[in-house]
Homo-oligomer: A and B are copies of this chain.
Amino acid sequence: MTEVKIQNNDLVLICHRDKKYLKKIEENKAFNGKGGTLSFSDLIGNPFGKRYGEYEVYRPTLEDIIMFGVKRDTQIIYPKDAAFICLKLDIKYCSSILEVGTGSGALTIIFSNFIGPEGKIVTIEKEERHFRNAKKNIERFCQDRDVEVINCHVLEYGGSGFDSVFVDVREPWLYMDKVWGFVKESGTIGMIVPTTNQISEILKAFDDRGGFGDIEVIEILLRRYKTVSERIRPFDRMVAHTGYLIFARKLLK
């Protein structure tokens, strides 16, 4: 494996102390930050993963892209939740996934990361404003994957036979018939909601409609520790809540 060098138009992650920036390399341009000016011409042809003056420059990971590259006009799904969702939905090379509620497209991009060229993602978003923003994010960061972004209401979408469906809308309990119909038998179903009242509504809708098995409600918490070897301790503050995750599988009677 030969080492690939930084090239024009590459995305780079620039780190300075606790701050991180995702930038696109453009010849003759530069990054200006608290660590001084970093000329992009000085980077081109040099390796990723290297200290340049006060900066460290890395090849961005998917998480970097989500956290620092995706333009948000909605609350995004955090990496800790997104990673777990992928596992619970059983996302893999060649999965077909329907996402209801594209939001900013962050989760779409994460899904697309794990499917290969034979996989397929459809994501629908009813708000035109979110749709436009998400479409840009997805076009920018999932160039080579089969991702279809549709501006429609969940009730208007007629697809079916997906391996998995993920629902991130305010009132998922209103669309249980549709959600059920989107996936194959035994297909995996995931949802995220911020409040416990919504969990109640969803569980009630699962009961009322029937056809949902292996139901789970899960919360993922992430705690960061300071990285000083002689003073190991958690950071003083943490994100205490992002959302409750609900999972089920399509079940015939």
Give the B-binding residues of A (Cβ under 8 A). Answer: 1, 3, 15, 47-51, 56, 58-59, 61-63, 79-80, 82-84, 86-94, 96, 110, 113-118, 161, 184-188, 194-197, 199-204, 207, 213-241, 244, 249-253
B115 contacts A93, C-beta separation under 8 Å: yes
| Chain B proximity of A57: nearest CB distance (Å) | 8
User: Given A93-B116, A96-B1, A224-B218 in contact, is the A48-B186 Cβ separation under 8 Å?
Assistant: yes
The 8 sampled A-B contact pairs (Cβ below 8 Å) are: A15-B214, A50-B185, A83-B84, A197-B231, A200-B229, A218-B224, A235-B240, A236-B239
| CB neighbours of A239 from chain B (8 A) | 236-237
Contact among B61, B84, B232, B237 for A88, CB-based, below 8 A = B61
Taking a contact as CB atoms under 8 Å apart, the answer to whether A51 and B236 are in contact is no
Report the Cα distance A228→B48, complex, angstroms. 42
CB of B252 within 8 A of CB of A200, answer no
A186 / chain B contacts, CB cutoff of 8 Å? 47-50, 58-59
- Residue in A161, A185, A239 whose Cβ sees the most chain B Cβ within 10 Å: A185
**Contacts of A187 on B, CB cut-off 8 Å?**
49
Q: Which among B58, B230, B251 is the interface contact of A197 at CB below 8 angstroms?
A: B230
Residues of B within 8 A of A234 (CB): 219, 240-241
B221–A223 CB distance below 8 A: yes
Smallest distance from the beta carbon of A241 to chain B beta carbons, Å? 4
Distance from A145 Cβ to chain B, minimum over Cβ atoms (Å): 9
Known A56-B213, A63-B87, A221-B223; further 9 A-B contacts with Cβ < 8 A: A47-B185, A58-B186, A79-B84, A86-B87, A93-B114, A116-B116, A195-B231, A201-B229, A218-B224
Supposing A48-B186, A87-B83, A184-B3 touch, asked if A233 and B241 sit within 8 A by C-beta, the answer is yes
Complex: how many Å from CA A221 to CA B81? Answer: 11
Residues of B within 8 Å of A90, CB to CB, are 61-63
Complex Cα spacing A84 to B230, Å? 26
Neighbouring B residues of A91 by C-beta, 8 Å:
114
Whether A217 contacts B213 by the Cβ 8 Å rule is no
Q: Residue on B with the closest CB to A199?
A: B232
